[in-house]
């Protein structure tokens, strides 16, 4: 499994999907949701909001929902051919569980080889210590996913297994960018 920090705009990154969080009260939180809405309007959020209302299933805190990109002409999204995996985050589960659940859902779907992982909850950090703890907790989720995911060789009938995780920092915070580069480097040394 590969993990790297990517310094590009979300819409310019070659990836199959993006991980984002949303509260069960349908309130999207974080900069990634602002970017998704700016580039795709309510296209993705309408899909997850329908799932939150119990049609066809009811989602609860920690659950993940795949919202699909539809190749239409003209395209309804400037986000590119990316799906969005929303994880329901009411802030009462550890961040590691939210991240691990999203990555597991992407992997188990067998549709994605690569995912963009913005830092969930970074907007609520009050200082540099909080930011470091949020990044550490996010990485605990990535490592938990790696431990729980059995090593599998893709078989001919398997479409894909999640293999590439691309970390992005959406606020331009130099300290967080340096931290992401360090955790990506450390991830491969162990």
> Taking a C-beta distance cutoff of 8 angstroms, is the pair 166, 184 a contact?
no
CA 19 to chain centroid, in Å, comes to: 2
**Residue tagged 């993990």 (tokens):** 3
* Entry pTM: 0.88
Of all helices (H) and strands (E), which one includes residue 24? Answer: none
The CATH number that applies at residue 123 is 3.40.220.10
Range of the domain at 7: 2-189
pLDDT of residue 103: 96
How far, in Å, are 18, 74, 132, 185 from residue 33 at the CA level? 10, 22, 22, 27
Whether the pLDDT of residue 188 is over 80: the answer is yes
Whether the pLDDT of residue 123 is over 80: the answer is yes
Beta bridge partners of 75: none
What's the average model confidence in pLDDT over 22-51? 82
pLDDT of residue 168: 95
pLDDT of residue 76: 60
d(CA 46, CA 86): 12
Q: How many domains does the chain have?
A: 1
Taking only the tens place, the pLDDT of each residue in 94-118 is 999 999 999 999 999 888 999 999 9
pLDDT of residue 153: 58
pLDDT of residue 31: 86
Taking only the tens place, the pLDDT of each residue in 50-93 is 777 765 567 788 999 998 877 665 556 677 668 999 999 999 99
Structure tokens given for 144: 């938990």
Taking only the tens place, the pLDDT of each residue in 143-184 is 999 998 766 555 544 557 899 999 999 988 999 999 999 999
Among residues 190, 156, 188, which one has the least CA distance to residue 1? 188
């Amino acid at each position: 499994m590969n993990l790297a920090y990517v310094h590009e705009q979300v819409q310019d990154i070659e990836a199959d999907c993006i991980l984002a969080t949303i509260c069960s009260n349908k309130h999207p939180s974080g900069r990634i949701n602002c970017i998704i809405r700016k580039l795709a309007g309510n296209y993705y959020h309408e899909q997850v909001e329908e799932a939150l209302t119990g049609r066809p299933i009811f989602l609860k805190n920690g659950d993940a929902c795949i919202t699909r990109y539809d190749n239409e002409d003209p395209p309804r999204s400037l986000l590119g051919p990316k799906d969005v995996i929303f994880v329901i985050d009411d802030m009462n589960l550890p961040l590691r569980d939210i991240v691990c659940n999203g990555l597991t859902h992407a992997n188990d779907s067998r549709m994605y080889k690569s995912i963009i992982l913005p830092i969930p909850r970074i907007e609520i950090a009050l200082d540099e210590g909080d930011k470091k703890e949020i990044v550490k907790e996010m990485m605990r989720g990535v490592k938990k996913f790696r431990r729980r995911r059995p090593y599998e060789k893709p078989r001919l009938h398997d479409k894909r297994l999640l293999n590439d995780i691309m970390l992005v920092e959406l606020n331009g915070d130099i300290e967080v960018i340096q931290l992401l580069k360090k955790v990506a480097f450390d991830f491969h040394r162990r």
